[in-house]
Amino acid sequence: MPENRKTKIPRKATQKSIENAALAYLQRYATSAENLRAVLMRRVHRAAYAHDDDPAAGAELVAGLIARYKRAGLLDDVAYAEGRVMTLHRRGVSRRGIHARLSAKGVSVDDIEAALTCLSGESEDVEFDAACNYARRRRLGPWRVAGRAERRDRDLAALARQGFGYDLASKIIDADDVAALEE
Per-residue pLDDT of the chain (183 residues; tens, 9 = 90+): 556 777 888 888 899 999 999 999 999 999 999 999 999 999 999 999 999 889 999 999 999 999 999 999 999 999 999 999 999 999 999 999 999 999 999 999 999 999 999 887 777 788 999 999 999 999 999 998 888 899 999 999 999 999 999 999 999 999 988 888 877
The counts of H helices and E strands in the chain are: 10, 0
CATH, domain 77-122, list 1.10.357, 2.60.120, 1.10.10, 1.10.3470:
1.10.10
Name every residue whose Cβ is closer than 8 Å to that of residue 128 and which is 6 or more positions away in sequence.
168, 171, 172
11: left (phi over 0), alpha (psi -120 to 50) or beta: beta
Phi, psi angles (nearest 5°) of residue 5: -90, 130
In this prediction, residue 2 carries a pLDDT of 59
Query: Would the pTM of this model clear 0.85, i.e. be above it?
Result: no
What pLDDT shows up at residue 3? 67
pLDDT recorded at residue 35? 96
Cα 57 to Cα 68, 125, 154, distances in angstroms: 17, 49, 52
